[in-house]
Amino acid sequence: MKYCEMTKEQLLAEQELLQKEYDGWKAQGLKLNMARGKPGKEQLDLVSDMLNILVDPDACESDGIECRNYGELSGIPAAKRLFAEILGVKETECFVGGNSSLQLMYDTVSKAFTHGLLHSEQPWCKLEKVKWICPAPGYDRHFKVTESFGVEMITVPMTADGPDMEMVEELVKDPAVKGMWNVPKYSNPEGVVYSEEIVRRIANLKPAAPDFLLMWDNAYCIHEFEGEFQPFPEILTLCREAGNPDMVFEYASTSKVTYPGAGVSVMAASEANIAYMSKLIGIQAISFDKMNQLRHVMYLKDKETTLALMQRHAEIMRPKFHAVLDALDREIAPLGIADWKRPVGGYFVSLDAMPGTAKRTLALAKEAGVVMTGAGATFPYGKDPQDSNIRIAPSFPPVEELKAAIAVFCVCLRLAAVEKLLAA
Amino acid sequence: MKYCEMTKEQLLAEQELLQKEYDGWKAQGLKLNMARGKPGKEQLDLVSDMLNILVDPDACESDGIECRNYGELSGIPAAKRLFAEILGVKETECFVGGNSSLQLMYDTVSKAFTHGLLHSEQPWCKLEKVKWICPAPGYDRHFKVTESFGVEMITVPMTADGPDMEMVEELVKDPAVKGMWNVPKYSNPEGVVYSEEIVRRIANLKPAAPDFLLMWDNAYCIHEFEGEFQPFPEILTLCREAGNPDMVFEYASTSKVTYPGAGVSVMAASEANIAYMSKLIGIQAISFDKMNQLRHVMYLKDKETTLALMQRHAEIMRPKFHAVLDALDREIAPLGIADWKRPVGGYFVSLDAMPGTAKRTLALAKEAGVVMTGAGATFPYGKDPQDSNIRIAPSFPPVEELKAAIAVFCVCLRLAAVEKLLAA
């Protein structure tokens, strides 16, 4: 029976039952974490052969480059080739960095503010106002970057196929709108894959700002956990064909392929952009860690080998997502108190609880020892106008712990909904 | 006989001789490089045992922290302990980063511009003018950082004991003077060690700017190539005692201890500064490469073990510096056309050629296949007002190549001096 169809008496009875169940969980003193898209130990152990792949000093050369010494700011050619193949771009369009694609993204925004981008009339710090398009729910760390620079963030709703493009097309007419965040494949948190039509409309935007910065965080480009690898539209080519060759910067990393703390990141953009950014980055660093780049090249080899590894990650991830989705189907679906998507890739399940109950649900979960991403985090400024969206990150806990965590979560979700209905 | 005492005829005869010698070198088609402070292959091979020090997945934990996964923004405690011991600071004053201390320095300046420092009234990008104290000759990459942010750089002469402090004390009375570059031990390029008195005067500065940024690049803090390790004054303590606890940021790295391209960097500052910067850096990165930090901790162990390794580097560096200094003593000293210092640590020999001959000397060297740091590079904006200072970097070439390179250099130096005197 749906909660909205219950009488007050039925709701009170349900509340009593749930409270007992909740107290039972609480008494167990659980310590469970579904907060971040952090790979689990089994995934880390998958790639242990990388640890001893580069132990011979004579093997530290790659294409004639001594990887132990200074130099090669934009990365070793072999690493560029690997990422170029995976992303479908040219080797000359790749800048291979350190262990963090977030750092490359932050740097791009930071340099836009301090130095300006290739087509900027002036550094953004000289501007009265900088506005930014934020499809939401979205990635909290993206929003934190633009918030940190004092950008005015404009929320654009996500549809099942990507951001609401009519709104985006209207917004870019404002020259103060300088950029847009995107996670085009298995978006964080909803797992939405931008449709080819929407990708094309984005590539064909006609922004008033000559230095509009299309941030294309392809974090989950090879991260299917159901089924085979799904090819994705190549955004650099589409932008070039649309007459916007320098509008887009694409990012990816091996954080969820090899080691989250010790992977390799890449930034892909037009050759003109790579040349411009390399000049600026050359002031800040002599080079990134080429030894780790070489380790990755030796271990991942090529796209085919990398995709085979991703299937092994999928085998670990799949049962975790099923544990979450099965519990939601069983415990929540009949009650009509929440909606959620069924992603086939990425790292999250995004759930829309009854409006006004997300914060309360997560507070209850926390009290019972289940830590989750804070309510509102998936919206600019950390403020969900509906207090409804909740991001579930099933990757880190072992399946048995995850089952307990999601059981607790379901009780909290129900309890918060009953409370809300009783207060109405 | 000194060149300045020669008659025109003697100079012409000397020129003819030198030209023949120079043409002989040129005909050899040499390709030699004394441009950058890049460790040589022998030094890279010294630390090959680090390559297989971390091959067991179960060994990737440190103080209970899983180094393969996300987290620990400010570095693993074991790496903080190692650097704290080497720098003589507290573990809580250390932020351990990625492979580049230059990147940490750039980031500090960049964040001063975009967000402001702990005691800034506003971000520096909002200010009309930012001025900066640049002891010179100095490190070209430092000057490039401040130049890149549009800072007005003020040259302060270096003495045998450090920067001219009377000038520095006067300059900091201007609230627009926001910072100062320093390489306090074995300065780049002169190899000057700041005297304890000068370090104390610097710590006791009373800058008008509340957010004055004392950049303390302790790049060569354990880099003696003659004799034993020399202790150095601990700047964080001195600044704290002088009532300037948050004025200084100290930097170091293992770039010239283990691998130049794949080392570990550290930033040391007051706990208040580390807390403030960590909050800002937390927007830009989840964590740095903890696996590489752990490798370094396992390999370098502690200060004693690290200093023993530095003595092995010294054995490789010493003959190279001797080759340069012996050649200068033999070929140049009797002619009275240049002065140089005799450093006992660091990576450079700084030579002051006859004013107006540095550019010409380096152009001649380049034509003969010997690449050196560009003339002027050791001064702000790359402009040496005397056209005199030349930085010699002997570390990279094998001794035999180095001997050829310095022989060519001596001929070029002499030829440029003769030309200059003849034109006078």
Distance to chain B for A57, nearest Cα, Å: 6
Residue A187: closest CA among A386, A380, A378: A378
Question: Angle at CA B317, nearest 5°, toward B312 and B323?
Answer: 145
- DSSP code of B99? S
By the CB < 8 Å criterion, does B279 face chain A?
no
Distance to chain B for A269, nearest Cα, Å: 20
Which A positions 36-55 lie with beta carbon below 8 A of chain B?
A: 36, 38-39, 41, 44-45, 48, 51-52, 54-55
| CB–CB contact A107 B284 (8 Å) | yes
In this complex, the residue of A36, A44, A98 whose CB is nearest that of residue B99 is A98
| CB–CB contact B44 A262 (8 Å) | no
Tell me how far CA of residue A421 lies from CA of A58, A191, A271, in angstroms: 69, 30, 57
| Calculated CA dihedral for residues B304, B306, B307, B308, nearest 10 degrees | 90
What pLDDT, on a 0 to 100 scale, did the predictor assign at position A46?
Answer: 98
Report yes or no for ipTM above 0.95.
yes
Which B positions 76-105 lie with beta carbon below 8 A of chain A?
A: 98-100, 102-103
DSSP-assigned letters across all residues of B21-54: HHHHHHHTT--EEESS----HHHHHHTGGGTTS-
Radius of gyration, alpha carbons of chain A: 23
Question: Angle at CA A25, nearest 5°, toward A20 and A26?
Answer: 95
What pLDDT, on a 0 to 100 scale, did the predictor assign at position B383?
Answer: 97
By the CB < 8 Å criterion, does B423 face chain A?
no
Number of residues written out for chain B: 424
Phi-psi region of B63 (alpha: psi -120 to 50; beta: other; left: phi over 0): left
| CB–CB contact B125 A148 (8 Å) | no
What pLDDT, on a 0 to 100 scale, did the predictor assign at position B201?
Answer: 98
Q: Report percent pLDDT > 90 for chain B.
A: 99
What pLDDT, on a 0 to 100 scale, did the predictor assign at position A424?
Answer: 86
Distance to chain A for B419, nearest Cα, Å: 36
Q: Tally C-beta pairs within 8 A across A and B.
A: 162
Q: Are A387 and A24 in contact (CB under 8 A)?
A: no
Evaluated on CA atoms B250, B254, B256, B262, the torsion sign reads negative
**Mean pLDDT across chain B:** 97
Tell me how far CA of residue B182 lies from CA of A167, B190, B229, B343, in angstroms: 52, 12, 20, 17
Distance CA B197, CA A424 (A): 74
What pLDDT, on a 0 to 100 scale, did the predictor assign at position B236?
Answer: 98
| CB–CB contact A70 B149 (8 Å) | no
In this complex, the residue of A103, A287, A292 whose CB is nearest that of residue B285 is A103
**Blockwise average pLDDT, block size 10, chain A, 424 residues:** 96 98 96 93 98 97 97 98 98 98 98 98 97 98 98 98 98 98 97 98 98 98 98 98 98 98 97 98 98 98 98 98 98 97 97 98 98 96 97 96 97 98 94
Tell me how far CA of residue B62 lies from CA of A138, A203, A396, B339, B393, in angstroms: 33, 46, 19, 50, 38
Residues in Cβ contact with A204 at an 8 Å cutoff, skipping those fewer than 6 apart: A238, A242, A244
Distance CA B76, CA B99 (A): 15
List the strands of the sheet with B131-136, edge to edge: B94-96, B265-268, B248-253, B213-217, B177-182, B131-136, B152-159, B162-163
Which B positions 336-355 lie with beta carbon below 8 A of chain A?
A: none
What pLDDT, on a 0 to 100 scale, did the predictor assign at position A22?
Answer: 98
Residue A135: closest CA among A199, A89, A90: A199
A52 contact residues in B (CB cutoff 8 A): 52, 55
| CB–CB contact A113 B114 (8 Å) | yes
Tell me how far CA of residue A33 lies from CA of A258, B39, B392, in angstroms: 22, 45, 56
> Span B355-381, mean pLDDT?
97
Nearest chain B alpha carbon to A279:
B148
B288 contact residues in A (CB cutoff 8 A): 98-100
A62 phi, psi to nearest 5 deg: -145, 125
Distance CA A370, CA A364 (A): 9
DSSP-assigned letters across all residues of A198-221: HHHHHHT---SSTT-EEEEE-TTT
Distance CA B22, CA B408 (A): 7
Q: Report percent pLDDT > 70 for chain B.
A: 100
> Span B146-173, mean pLDDT?
98
What pTM value is reported for the model? 0.97
Which B positions 253-272 lie with beta carbon below 8 A of chain A?
A: 255, 259-262
- Produce one character per residue of B78-104: b if its CB has 16 or more CB atoms within 10 Å, e if not: bbbbbbbebbbbbeebbbbbbbbbbbb
Residues in Cβ contact with B311 at an 8 Å cutoff, skipping those fewer than 6 apart: none
Nearest chain B alpha carbon to A259:
B68
Residues in Cβ contact with A322 at an 8 Å cutoff, skipping those fewer than 6 apart: none
Distance CA B216, CA B211 (A): 15
- DSSP code of A195? P
By the CB < 8 Å criterion, does B127 face chain A?
no
Distance CA B303, CA B232 (A): 14
What pLDDT, on a 0 to 100 scale, did the predictor assign at position A369?
Answer: 97
> Span B364-389, mean pLDDT?
97
The helix (H) or strand (E) run that includes residue B351 is strand B349-353
Distance CA A76, CA B37 (A): 21
Distance CA B5, CA A53 (A): 64
By the CB < 8 Å criterion, does A371 face chain B?
no
Note the pLDDT tens digit of each residue in B18-38: 999 999 999 999 999 999 899
Distance CA B319, CA B397 (A): 12
Q: Are A35 and A372 in contact (CB under 8 A)?
A: yes
Tell me how far CA of residue B392 lies from CA of B25, B280, B362, in angstroms: 19, 38, 11
Structure tokens at A376: 């509102």
The helix (H) or strand (E) run that includes residue A297 is helix A290-300
Q: Counting beta carbons within 10 angstroms of the beta carbon of residue A359, is it exposed (0 to 12), middle (13 to 18) or buried (19 or more)?
A: middle
Residues in Cβ contact with A237 at an 8 Å cutoff, skipping those fewer than 6 apart: A88, A89
Residues in Cβ contact with B241 at an 8 Å cutoff, skipping those fewer than 6 apart: B203
Q: Counting beta carbons within 10 angstroms of the beta carbon of residue B26, is it exposed (0 to 12), middle (13 to 18) or buried (19 or more)?
A: middle
The helix (H) or strand (E) run that includes residue A171 is helix A165-171
Tell me how far CA of residue A26 lies from CA of A31, A261, A366, A405, B404, in angstroms: 10, 33, 10, 11, 77
| CB–CB contact B66 A48 (8 Å) | no
| CB neighbours of residue A255 within 10 Å | 24
- Placement of tokens 């070793």 in the chain: A76
Question: Angle at CA B396, nearest 5°, toward B391 and B397?
Answer: 105
**Strand residues in A5-147 grouped as ranges (E):** 32-34, 61-62, 65-66, 94-96, 131-136
By the CB < 8 Å criterion, does A381 face chain B?
no
Distance to chain B for A243, nearest Cα, Å: 31
Phi-psi region of B275 (alpha: psi -120 to 50; beta: other; left: phi over 0): alpha
By the CB < 8 Å criterion, does B174 face chain A?
no
Structure tokens at B227: 């004799």
By the CB < 8 Å criterion, does A64 face chain B?
no
| CB–CB contact B45 A57 (8 Å) | yes
| CB–CB contact B99 A56 (8 Å) | no
Q: Counting beta carbons within 10 angstroms of the beta carbon of residue B64, is it exposed (0 to 12), middle (13 to 18) or buried (19 or more)?
A: exposed
Note the pLDDT tens digit of each residue in B118-129: 999 999 999 999
Q: Are B105 and B251 in contact (CB under 8 A)?
A: yes
A261 contact residues in B (CB cutoff 8 A): 67-71, 286-287, 289-291
Residue B98: closest CA among B217, B221, B254: B254
> Span B291-314, mean pLDDT?
98
- B310 residue type, one letter: M
Distance to chain A for B242, nearest Cα, Å: 31
Q: Is pLDDT of B424 > 90?
A: no
| CB neighbours of residue B157 within 10 Å | 10
